[in-house]
């Protein structure tokens, strides 16, 4: 039996299972192709730039599913009738994944001189405070006094 230590083993971290799976997924993606940059364009704007020389727009595919941004590239082998004396430019396919935080929205992508730019915006949520009232239990039974329970789902404290 193997015990695996985790950053989120503390009982104080409730509901962080998705983060742990995300970290495990990031550890498994270790291929360095294609090279990329991540830059902060402004306070709430980010850009991922991938070096995809030789790929056309038709060869590239970008998908976003459950905060997982996936970029795939597949070139068609059109050199069947060509004879290479040396082939140093590989026409290989790739898949590069990025995990986006909640609140990051992909706003667009462009291909320029062999560089694929993916633009993103960080959406800053409005702070929201909820008051949660405490209900009391009846002394003689274990049932909850239903007249004292407050629905917190729609409650919002406006300041």
Q: Closest Cα partner for 47 from 29, 25, 73, 69?
A: 69
1-10, 12-21, 108-117: least confident range:
1-10
pLDDT value of residue 78: 66
pLDDT tens readout for residues 83-134: 889 988 777 889 999 989 889 999 999 999 999 999 999 998 888 899 999 9
pLDDT value of residue 140: 60
Query: Do strands 45-51 and 68-73 pair parallel, antiparallel, or not at all (unpaired)?
Result: unpaired
Q: Closest Cα partner for 121 from 103, 139, 137?
A: 103
pLDDT value of residue 66: 87
pLDDT value of residue 44: 94
User: Looking at residue 118, which CATH number applies to its domain?
Assistant: 2.60.40.790
In a domain, 24, yes or no: no
In a domain, 70, yes or no: yes
Mark residue 103 as left, alpha or beta (left: phi above 0; alpha: psi -120 to 50; beta: remaining): left
pTM metric for this prediction: 0.65
Confidence of residue 75 (pLDDT cuts 50, 70, 90): confident
In a domain, 118, yes or no: yes
Q: What percent of the chain has pLDDT over 70?
A: 68
**Structural domain count of the chain:** 1
In a domain, 10, yes or no: no
Give me the domain span that covers residue 63: 33-77+88-122
Given a cut of 60, is residue 1 above it in pLDDT? no
Decide: residue 101, CB within 10 A, 0-12 exposed, 13-18 middle, 19+ buried. exposed
């Amino acid at each position: 039996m193997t015990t695996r230590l985790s950053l989120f083993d503390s009982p104080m971290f409730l509901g962080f299972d998705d983060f742990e799976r995300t970290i495990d997924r990031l550890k498994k993606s270790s291929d360095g192709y294609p090279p990329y940059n991540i830059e902060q364009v402004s306070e709430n704007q980010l850009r991922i730039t991938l070096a995809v020389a030789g790929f056309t727009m038709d060869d590239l595919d970008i998908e976003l599913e459950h905060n997982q941004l996936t970029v795939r590239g597949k070139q068609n082998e059109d050199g069947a009738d060509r004879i290479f004396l040396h082939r140093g430019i590989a026409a290989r396919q790739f898949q590069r994944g990025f995990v986006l935080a909640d609140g990051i929205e992909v706003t667009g992508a462009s291909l320029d001189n062999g560089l694929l730019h993916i633009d993103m915006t960080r959406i800053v949520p409005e702070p929201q405070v909820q008051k949660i009232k405490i209900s009391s239990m009846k002394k003689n039974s274990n049932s909850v006094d239903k007249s004292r329970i407050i629905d917190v789902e729609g409650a919002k404290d406006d300041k």
